[in-house]
A and B are shown apart, each in its own frame.
Chain A
């Protein structure tokens, strides 16, 4: 008798608890599709870590008094994707608009979590944005986000160190030139650059080498991975391996650590191959090197033909919803941030590197010589160089047609498990081959038809 009561109670509480969690799972369908009444107030939640996005809210709300926008910074890149994955999986708590980097966009588009913006006329913007960024938001014939910034790669270098080594960085046209320069830089006690196994950097360099290791079939379900046979990847693997073997790059300093900033600050890391979003990071990470750094074009495999890639850069995407009014309001905000002149201007003033051709050709933009520091004071970080001129030129050289994997976030997370050449274990080529095998297995498990 006594035991029965205990059992019953536990069963009851357990059942209630289970029901509760089930109810939480089914929450997504509860959202009513309210009729789109123009007088009705719409509240938008936007997830973005880009510090320039909140600057657009004031102007947008003035132009659209019925829409209220709340920006949440739930974490930078992978942290936000984790939160987004959890919310999408739970069916509740997802934002209306999310900042998604180009490399992660196919993952969410193919997972059918994003609204195709073609229905609002976004497909007409193809001439408005740069080739590289427009390419990245077009997935499977749809437009799944609008570019808010871009990261064409450039060659940032510490002129003081290069002068000491007797190297003129503006004359480095090919990777062979870069290799010779690296030797001279090493001779004066610095490294030309550092890489201790950065997956995003690897992807970009394969892209800049003319590689196309990943492709997605028109059905969105078949994936081709060819890192071992791709010419661009092969060229880069061999070249970078040579740099490691001869000790010409710093493999001991991990990117974005305190040590790395110090290396950039004191000149022991003399150059960076990275995206156009770097200037403000240099200003905050290496303030003592103010005036010493310059920017020039990336080395290429062919002196007569510049080859470049994008590194990073984000879009704003509308999360799929049944609420038509909400989706429309969300698109209005995305359009304002990415396509509206005022929206773009307020962000470029805040340090964003634009993704639209008009701003990239804008006279005032190209003439900029100073970054703004924390106190709003002008700092000629690049010694008076018109740095945007170089970066805008870099954007023109981005090779078209590069595809990301539909599970690029996973791929980048696993790169370090296999490519251990930076710690002296094996070669990049071996590591990449093992990485490819894992990517094929994972893709198959996830229901893709791989290779």
Chain B
């Protein structure tokens, strides 16, 4: 009797000790995780149930902020704008990135290392700086656009309200095309060379190699780049925020993108509670879209 219970008890004790040993290693991470991740989210959700007024102070408002948000045309307008931006800009950017990666991988170009670095370089430039540079170039009076206009006798204005979103898309594409190219390129470089040799022996043309070998390999990394790009576009902030004070006629409103709207609500309008509600709804929307895209691409990969 004594022997068996003794070993059993020892077993329990050992399991116990093992649990706590794990936590000893975990606590630095857990602490940071809770403080920088859980607490801010919980706090944002908490304050989104209140309203702060200049007259009357802070009052509990229940779901009033959310009700107002769902009926706010400015909010849905901004969501629509970034959705349009995503639908147009992301495919163009990723197609360009894929083309560049394929060109680099074809091994028919000279100076690929130089080309690789140059296309990646814009990613290393802070978004604020690149927006400023592009803003100067877009200038219709002294910028590059002005020079083009005077040389060719044109009257281009890329900061006009109706083309502004495309101009911002151009900046974002410039910034991220190299980054996505690198992801594609690394996927391509994992293809074993024996495959190409086999294809060459079978008499495959270059186009057939691209279609049958390289493109299928790109599909996996495509899912990653699409999700990153969608999340990035929905969080569009730096570029319109910097351009706001450069674009004539106040063409960038305080609710141009959801992020810009949240920022202006809390800092210009003193409505941090409403901004918190907006942030939470936006997070849910973005997660839902990213999840849907991921689900789709996973299903496709299963085929």
- Residues of A participating in the B interface, judged by any CB pair closer than 8 Å: 2, 5, 9-10, 13-14, 17-18, 21, 78, 82, 85, 89, 107, 110-111, 196-197, 221, 251-254, 256-259, 262-263, 268, 406-407, 409-410, 413-417, 419-420, 422-425, 442, 445-448
Contact = CB atoms under 8 A, between A and B. Distances in A.
Nearest to A266: B142
A440 B82 CA distance: 29
B170 interface: no
A419 B55 CA distance: 28
B210 to A, nearest CB: 45
Interface string B112-149: 00000000000000000000000010011111000000
B19 A417 contact: no
B88 interface: no
A415 B249 CA distance: 11
B254 A413 contact: yes
Contacts of B248: 196-197, 251-254, 422-423
A415 B254 CA distance: 10
A413 B141 CA distance: 26
B270 interface: yes
B60 interface: no
13 contacts: A10-B30, A14-B34, A17-B38, A252-B140, A254-B248, A256-B245, A257-B245, A258-B136, A262-B141, A407-B270, A410-B270, A419-B250, A420-B251
A424 B249 CA distance: 8
Contacts of B56: 447
A29 to B, nearest CB: 15
Interface in B205-256: 245-251, 253-255
Interface in B54-113: 54-56
A202 to B, nearest CB: 11
B43 interface: yes
B53 interface: yes
A11 to B, nearest CB: 10
A257 B250 contact: no
A294 B245 CA distance: 28
Contacts of A262: 141-142
Contacts of B291: none
Nearest to B39: A17
B264 interface: yes
A196 B268 contact: no
B279 to A, nearest CB: 17
A371 to B, nearest CB: 26
Contacts of A424: 249
A417 B53 contact: no
Contacts of B157: 252
Given A259-B143, A406-B54, A407-B54, 18 more contacts: A10-B34, A13-B31, A13-B34, A18-B42, A78-B268, A82-B267, A107-B54, A197-B250, A252-B157, A254-B247, A410-B269, A413-B254, A413-B269, A417-B255, A422-B250, A423-B160, A423-B161, A445-B51
B268 A447 contact: no
Contacts of A420: 161, 249-251
Contact of A416 (B52, B139, B253): B253
B272 to A, nearest CB: 8
Contacts of A419: 250
B166 to A, nearest CB: 16
B39 A21 contact: yes
A414 B255 CA distance: 10
Contacts of A406: 54
Contacts of A78: 267-268
B270 A85 contact: yes
A244 to B, nearest CB: 10
Contact of B250 (A110, A259, A268, A417): A417
Contacts of A407: 54, 270
Nearest to B255: A417
A202 B38 CA distance: 45
A306 to B, nearest CB: 31
Interface in B134-186: 136, 139-143, 157, 160-161
Contact of A423 (B249, B254, B255, B267): B249
Contact of A263 (B51, B140, B141): B141
A407 B42 CA distance: 30
Contact of B254 (A197, A254, A417, A445): A417
3 cross-chain pairs, A with B, having the tightest CB-CB distances, nearest first: A423-B249, A416-B250, A447-B55
Contact of A410 (B52, B246, B253, B268): B268
Choose among B248, B254, B272 the residue with the greatest number of A CB atoms under 10 Å from its CB.
Answer: B248
A14 B53 contact: no
B268 A414 contact: yes
Nearest to B43: A21
A13 B141 CA distance: 58
A17 B161 CA distance: 46
Contacts of B247: 254
Given A10-B34, A413-B269, A417-B250, A111 B141 contact: no
